[in-house]
């Protein structure tokens, strides 16, 4: 670099290369062309020109459109045929020298001390280009860490600059001066530097830095740059000066020949030299009447006119077609939402990070023909502002616009500068016929609101796409509609995975069916996000590891694995964030928001990811405002998967992505040191246990169904939970299964918790509840002795541990009453149940449904004892209590209705009984799947009501359904089945199918005798019906024996006016009548 020969030669080269082969190129496109010819990658070009890879790709796309070629090879072919190859290569060399120079400045800034250095730049009047020039010199000095102050020479007042003399390392920069004695006295004794004494701009800047940064020595950086530039220059052949270089030479000679004196006419000329980043800018002081400058300006104006027809397009990089997943359904949705005209149409693409929102917005944008298509990076305030500045630069086609933009830099207030910039963009967008703006990665709408098009009168007609994780955007009045971007389907996952794995030729992968099936099984274990699927494919392709090893690494989630993933992402494209990185960054923000959020996040990460009850977390965090904020932030970061909190029969619930939940837990295990610190886990386990107990006591079956998965998932984290945490929760899980009618599962869990080895880990009151639950399980399964024993043990523990009026005691007393009822000890059953109701009545606020349940149980006993009015009153009171909570206790209402129907049936009010029982069945069907065990008893009672009304086929159908249900859930020798067989035998008798009836009743009697003592009233009931069958079959002696035996047993339980006793007596009287007519026997009196 000798003399000034190579002072900004690429500017002149840009001018010479502005038109190649009849095709016009912008200055930046010329730079890109030189890099393509030099076989540089997008990343290398990005670094060399200090622009983003997206911008590089956008320029390359525009070049291809101009040349009508499809590849970089086509571009190179065009250049080679145009006879400009040599000049293009020289242009690349000069760009490389400039990049090396700026890199040198950055290294100096990094190593220099924090001391503040200042330089004063004085510039002359009548220089139209100097706004841009001083801005560029300031930029270069700033890169080296130097603060530049500007002063216009036409203002002769230098009083404000006197303070600079007291600053350290202050330097005056002059373009041409005769010596130190000619510096105005106001600026004396500032040290100065004269451009005319230096070979070229680069050495001039180096001289400035040497003076300002003394005594620091950066000669090694200068020397390295000089050597690098010299090496690059060797690749150049001699090239004549272009018109621009010649103009610059003449300007410099004019500067040296003017002989302007500082003090003589007070029109001294001070200036500066700058290396311009704008294509047509260089060292250009403005002198009146300079014809060369006017010619140069004319050339620039012509170039601007040529650019006016060029479309402005942002970088819209997407994967190449070979590895791009076409999501046509979503693209059609976007098109439909944005098809309006005459206004500003705005949609938001909402979804979790890595779900493909940005790619979809770019795919849509690439298909549009708007004059301006621009993507705005809204992730941070800085990136948002930078994106708008880039757009403004491209919209500034004319020199006037460019001067306006440069003038914005002189505005001191950042808010005012920002306002002017936005106003500039608004004005220029309105001048376009159509435009499309993409606001990418918006966290909160208020962050982009100043930059957001709202009024068509100000911004003009256009379309806006917002990509965000924040689903609250749907509430914004400026957003017309949202599109919730869903996870990939299984076929989509396989297609994307195979495209990447095979470089776009999936047929290579599917030659073996076994390989495809193996891939499908692998992908089932991968989150259904495009980012996760793509990353897995690239990782496997790069490292050649097995599916199993990848999944193992994924589960362990070590830092080394995360680092490797990020490296692979960088190589595969411009996206460098893994979903783990996206989620953990959001977690940090959430945790910093409130001190309680870390434990709330831990709570939901230990549960099942689907249908988490809001009320469950409320049990842990009882401050409703904190919970509201927590849910709000979960939605803000798209942790919640459903569109909103689901207010349904389940109550308020929400769900999160399973893979997101796993990442949250892994992150918190490390952050909270959960393997050693159990305090948070202990509090959460207690809250879950407390919530479960409350739901069981309130018979909230809808919530209990949800809690099954949540408790099971919580218990699956064995490595984090202590034995006591697990044992207590296992007991409550057994209680849930009992409430849901899954007796076998409940029995398995509860018996396991109460084994000698495990009992020591079960807290005392948990043991009492476990025994109470288990007693009820045994009772419902017909194992009455075991039931009685377990409940008596539970009652003993309660009495030793809690006050005598506690609800635990009340519930256990009621359960014991039910067992004694089933055994046939009706009076004992009544006593237990009356005590239970009394305790509940004294504590109504503790468990209002507990009293309703115990009262209904007592009503059932009164029904059996024949005290129907008492039974009816108790059951009606119970029904009123249950109906206060219909959404939660529809099953309780159904249960009471069935028993109330039974009472009316016993009273002979069969139509009323039928109506109540049919209502009961409808409610059961609403809350349980078909064939649930809870429906069995109601169906059998309804069958009896139909029989009493003479609707025998309906009765038979209902009873057969009931029998089928019980046989499905219980073994065929269970005692409850015996009662169904009695009812069914009676129906067959009414249908005159006597042999069938007799067989069913004999089976019933056999089951009863296997489970009950020989004098049990249920056996008496079966004997009476069997005796009546023998009667109608003419087997009077057998009938007499069976009926007499039945009545003898009934007398131990009931009075002679009990309905069952009356019915059996009447049957026996009919037998005596038949025997009197045929055998002369005398009727016995009963």
Token pair recorded at residue 995? 């042999």
DSSP bridge partners of 192: 172
pLDDT computed for residue 408 by the predictor: 83
Which of 802, 801, 835 has the alpha carbon at shortest distance from 816?
A: 835
Q: Kindly give the residue spans of alpha helices, DSSP state H, lying in 503-578.
A: 513-523, 530-543, 547-556, 559-572
Distance set, CA 392 to CA 388, 456, 971 (Å)? 6, 19, 80
pLDDT computed for residue 598 by the predictor: 93
Q: How far apart are CA 264 and CA 294, in angstroms?
A: 29
Q: How confident is the model at residue 114 (pLDDT cuts 50, 70, 90)?
A: low
Q: How confident is the model at residue 579 (pLDDT cuts 50, 70, 90)?
A: confident
pLDDT computed for residue 1067 by the predictor: 92
Q: How confident is the model at residue 406 (pLDDT cuts 50, 70, 90)?
A: confident
Which H or E run contains 823? helix 807-823
3 state SS of 395? helix
Angle at 826 between CA 821 and CA 828, to 5 degrees: 100
The domains found in the chain, sorted by start residue, are: 9-104 (1.10.10.10), 113-217+232-305 (no CATH), 340-476 (3.40.50.300), 490-577 (no CATH), 695-801 (1.25.40.10), 804-886 (1.25.40.10), 889-967 (1.25.40.10), 971-1086 (1.25.40.10)
User: pLDDT exceeding 90 applies to what percent of the chain?
Assistant: 32
Average pLDDT, the chain: 80
User: pLDDT exceeding 70 applies to what percent of the chain?
Assistant: 80
Q: How far apart are CA 122 and CA 184, in angstroms?
A: 12
| Number of C-beta neighbours around residue 627 at 10 A | 18
Q: How far apart are CA 871 and CA 873, in angstroms?
A: 6
Q: How confident is the model at residue 1005 (pLDDT cuts 50, 70, 90)?
A: very high
pLDDT computed for residue 226 by the predictor: 78
pTM, to two decimals: 0.62
pLDDT computed for residue 155 by the predictor: 53
Strand 147-152 relative to strand 170-174, pairing = unpaired
pLDDT computed for residue 1079 by the predictor: 44
Q: How confident is the model at residue 573 (pLDDT cuts 50, 70, 90)?
A: low
Q: How far apart are CA 86 and CA 70, in angstroms?
A: 24
Q: How confident is the model at residue 10 (pLDDT cuts 50, 70, 90)?
A: low
pLDDT computed for residue 299 by the predictor: 41
pLDDT computed for residue 115 by the predictor: 57
pLDDT computed for residue 150 by the predictor: 60
Q: How would you class 502 by CB atoms within 10 Å of its CB: exposed for 0-12, middle for 13-18, buried for 19 or more? A: middle
| Number of C-beta neighbours around residue 426 at 10 A | 16
Q: What is the pLDDT of residues 230-283, one digit of tens each?
A: 777 766 543 333 333 433 344 344 434 433 333 233 333 333 333 322 333 333
pLDDT computed for residue 6 by the predictor: 39
Distance set, CA 1006 to CA 825, 975, 979, 1043 (Å)? 21, 10, 11, 17
Q: From the centroid of its chain, how far is CA 285?
A: 58
Count of all residues that appear for the chain in the document: 1086
Residue 1057 vs residue 151, higher pLDDT:
1057
3 state SS of 26? coil
For 654, phi and psi rounded to 5 degrees?
Answer: -145, 160
Q: What is the mean pLDDT of residues 138-161?
A: 62
Q: What is the pLDDT of residues 18-71, one digit of tens each?
A: 888 888 888 889 999 989 888 888 888 988 888 888 788 888 888 887 887 777
Q: What is the mean pLDDT of residues 476-503?
A: 88
3 state SS of 146? coil
Q: What is the mean pLDDT of residues 361-382?
A: 90
Checking if the pLDDT of 1082 tops 50, the result is no
Q: How confident is the model at residue 949 (pLDDT cuts 50, 70, 90)?
A: very high
Q: How confident is the model at residue 201 (pLDDT cuts 50, 70, 90)?
A: low
| Number of C-beta neighbours around residue 263 at 10 A | 11
pLDDT computed for residue 170 by the predictor: 57
Q: How confident is the model at residue 887 (pLDDT cuts 50, 70, 90)?
A: low
- For residue 215, whether the previous peptide bond is cis, meaning omega lies within 30 degrees of 0, is yes
| Most confident region among 304-313, 823-832, 842-851 by mean pLDDT | 823-832
Q: What is the mean pLDDT of residues 353-379?
A: 90
Residue 239 vs residue 839, higher pLDDT:
839
Q: What is the pLDDT of residues 679-688, one digit of tens each?
A: 999 999 999 9
- Torsion, CA 565, CA 568, CA 574, CA 577, rounded to 10: 0
Looking at 139-143, 210-214, 343-347, 509-513, which range is the least confident one?
A: 509-513
pLDDT computed for residue 256 by the predictor: 43
pLDDT computed for residue 769 by the predictor: 94
Q: What is the mean pLDDT of residues 660-667?
A: 90
Checking if the pLDDT of 782 tops 70, the result is yes
Checking if the pLDDT of 126 tops 60, the result is no
Q: What is the pLDDT of residues 967-987, one digit of tens each?
A: 888 776 677 888 899 999 999
pLDDT computed for residue 872 by the predictor: 94
Q: What is the pLDDT of residues 712-745, one digit of tens each?
A: 999 999 889 998 899 999 999 999 999 988 999 9
Q: What is the mean pLDDT of residues 356-373?
A: 91
Q: What is the mean pLDDT of residues 1038-1051?
A: 91
Q: What is the mean pLDDT of residues 417-440?
A: 91
pLDDT computed for residue 152 by the predictor: 57
Helices and strands in the chain, H and E counts: 48, 15
Token pair recorded at residue 805? 């009026």
Q: How confident is the model at residue 373 (pLDDT cuts 50, 70, 90)?
A: very high
Q: How far apart are CA 559 and CA 570, in angstroms?
A: 17
Checking if the pLDDT of 605 tops 90, the result is yes
Cα-only R_g, the chain = 45
pLDDT computed for residue 788 by the predictor: 95
Q: How confident is the model at residue 189 (pLDDT cuts 50, 70, 90)?
A: low
Q: How far apart are CA 758 and CA 763, in angstroms?
A: 11
Residue 659 gets which letter from DSSP? H
Q: What is the pLDDT of residues 301-339, one digit of tens each?
A: 443 343 344 478 887 888 887 788 888 899 999 999 998
């Amino acid at each position: 670099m000798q003399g000034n020969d190579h002072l900004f030669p690429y500017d002149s080269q840009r001018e010479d290369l502005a038109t190649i082969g009849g095709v016009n190129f912008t200055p930046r496109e010329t730079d890109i062309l030189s890099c393509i010819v030099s076989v540089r990658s997008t990343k290398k070009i990005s670094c060399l020109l200090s622009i983003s890879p997206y911008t590089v790709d956008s320029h390359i796309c525009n070049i291809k459109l101009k040349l009508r070629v499809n590849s970089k090879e086509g571009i190179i072919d065009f250049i080679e045929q145009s006879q400009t190859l040599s000049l293009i290569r020289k242009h690349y060399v000069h760009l490389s020298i400039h990049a090396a120079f700026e890199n040198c400045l950055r290294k100096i800034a990094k190593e220099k001390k924090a001391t503040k250095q200042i330089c004063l730049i004085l510039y002359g009047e009548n220089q139209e280009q100097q706004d841009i020039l001083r801005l560029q010199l300031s930029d270069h000095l700033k890169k080296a860490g130097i603060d530049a102050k500007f002063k216009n020479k036409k203002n002769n007042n230098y009083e404000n600059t006197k303070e600079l003399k007291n600053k350290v390392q202050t330097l005056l920069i002059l373009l041409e001066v005769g010596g130190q004695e000619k510096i105005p006295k106001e600026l004396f004794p500032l040290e100065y530097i004269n451009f005319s004494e230096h070979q070229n701009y680069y050495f001039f800047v180096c001289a400035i830095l040497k003076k300002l940064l003394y005594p620091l020595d950066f000669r090694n950086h200068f020397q390295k740059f000089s050597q690098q530039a010299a090496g690059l220059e060797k690749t150049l052949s001699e090239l004549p000066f272009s018109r621009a270089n010649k103009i610059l030479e003449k300007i410099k000679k004019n500067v040296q020949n003017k002989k302007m004196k500082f003090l003589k006419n007070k029109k001294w000329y001070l200036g500066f030299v700058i290396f311009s980043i704008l294509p047509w800018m260089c060292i250009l002081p403005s002198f009146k009447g300079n014809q060369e400058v006017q010619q140069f300006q004319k050339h620039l104006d012509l170039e601007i006119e040529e650019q006016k027809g060029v479309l402005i397009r942002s970088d819209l990089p997407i994967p190449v077609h070979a590895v791009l997943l076409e999501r046509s359904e979503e693209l059609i949705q976007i098109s439909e939402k944005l098809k309006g005209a005459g206004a500003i149409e705005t949609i938001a693409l909402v979804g979790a990070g890595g779900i493909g929102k940005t790619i979809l917005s770019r795919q849509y944008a690439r298909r549009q023909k708007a004059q301006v298509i621009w993507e705005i990076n809204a992730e941070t305030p800085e990136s948002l502002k930078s994106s708008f500045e880039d757009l403004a630069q491209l919209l500034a086609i004319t020199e006037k616009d460019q001067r306006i933009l440069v003038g914005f830099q002189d505005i001191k207030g950042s808010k005012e500068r920002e306002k002017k910039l936005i106003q500039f963009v608004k004005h220029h967008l309105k001048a376009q016929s159509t435009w499309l703006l993409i606001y990418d990665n918006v966290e909160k709408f208020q962050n982009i609101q100043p930059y957001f098009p709202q009024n068509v009168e100000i911004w003009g007609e256009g379309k806006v796409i917002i990509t965000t994780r924040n689903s609250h955007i749907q509430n914004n009045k400026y957003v017309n509609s949202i599109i919730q971007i869903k996870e990939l389907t299984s076929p989509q996952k396989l297609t994307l995975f195979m495209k990447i794995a095979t470089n776009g030729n999936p047929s290579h992968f599917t030659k073996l069916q076994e390989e495809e099936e193996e891939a499908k099984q692998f992908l089932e274990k991968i989150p259904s996000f495009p980012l996760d699927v793509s990353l897995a494919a690239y990782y496997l392709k790069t490292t050649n590891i097995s599916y199993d090893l990848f999944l193992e690494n994924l589960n362990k989630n070590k830092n080394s694995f995360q680092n490797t993933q990020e490296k692979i992402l960088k190589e595969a494209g411009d996206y460098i964030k893994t979903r783990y990185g996206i989620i953990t960054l959001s977690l940090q923000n959430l945790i910093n928001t409130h001190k309680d959020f870390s434990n709330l996040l831990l709570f939901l990460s230990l549960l099942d990811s689907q249908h988490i009850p809001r009320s469950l977390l409320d049990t842990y965090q009882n401050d409703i405002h904190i919970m509201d904020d927590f849910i709000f932030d979960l939605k803000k970061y798209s942790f919640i998967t459903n569109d909103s909190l689901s207010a349904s029969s389940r109550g308020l619930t929400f769900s999160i992505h399973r893979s997101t939940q796993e990442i949250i837990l892994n992150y918190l295990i490390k952050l909270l040191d959960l393997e050693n610190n159990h305090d948070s886990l202990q509090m959460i386990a207690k809250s879950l246990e407390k919530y479960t107990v409350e739901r069981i006591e309130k018979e909230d079956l809808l919530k209990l169904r949800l809690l099954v998965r949540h408790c099971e998932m919580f218990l699956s984290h064995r490595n984090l939970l202590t034995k006591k945490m697990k044992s207590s929760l296992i007991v409550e899980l057994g209680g849930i299964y009992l409430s849901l009618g899954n007796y076998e599962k409940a029995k398995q869990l509860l018996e396991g918790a109460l084994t000698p080895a495990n009992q020591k880990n079960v807290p005392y009151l948990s043991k009492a509840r476990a025994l109470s639950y288990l007693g009820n399980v045994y009772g419902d399964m017909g194992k009455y002795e075991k039931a009685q024993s377990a409940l008596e043990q539970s009652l003993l523990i309660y009495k030793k541990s809690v006050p005598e009026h506690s609800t635990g005691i009340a519930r256990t007393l009621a359960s014991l009453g039910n067992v004694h009822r089933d055994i046939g000890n009706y009076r004992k059953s009544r006593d237990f149940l009356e005590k239970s109701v009394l305790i509940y009545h004294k504590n109504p606020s503790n468990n209002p449904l507990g009293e309703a349940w115990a009262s209904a149980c007592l009503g059932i006993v009164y029904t059996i004892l024949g005290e129907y009015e008492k039974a009816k009153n108790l059951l009606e009171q119970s029904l009123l209590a249950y109906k206060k909570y219909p959404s939660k206790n529809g099953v309780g209402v159904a249960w009471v209705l069935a028993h109330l129907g039974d009472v009316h049936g016993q009273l002979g009010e069969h139509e009323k009984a039928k109506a109540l029982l049919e209502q009961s069945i409808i409610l059961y069907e609403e809350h349980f799947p078909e064939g649930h065990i809870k429906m069995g008893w109601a169906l059998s009672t309804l069958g009896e009501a139909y029989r009493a009304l003479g609707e025998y086929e309906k009765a038979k159908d209902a009873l057969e359904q009931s029998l089928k249900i019980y046989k499905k859930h219980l073994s065929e020798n269970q005692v409850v089945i015996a009662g169904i067989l009695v009812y069914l035998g009676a129906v067959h008798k009414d249908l005159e199918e006597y042999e069938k009836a007799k067989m069913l009743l004999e089976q019933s009697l056999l089951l009863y005798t296997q489970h009950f003592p020989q004098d049990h009233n249920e056996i008496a009931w079966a004997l009476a019906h069997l005796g009546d069958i023998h009667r109608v079959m003419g087997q009077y002696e057998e009938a007499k024996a069976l009926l007499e035996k039945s009545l003898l047993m009934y007398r131990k339980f009931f009075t002679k006016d009990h309905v069952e006793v009356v019915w059996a007596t009447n049957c026996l009287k009919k037998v005596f009548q038949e025997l009197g007519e045929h055998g002369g026997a005398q009727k016995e009196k009963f």
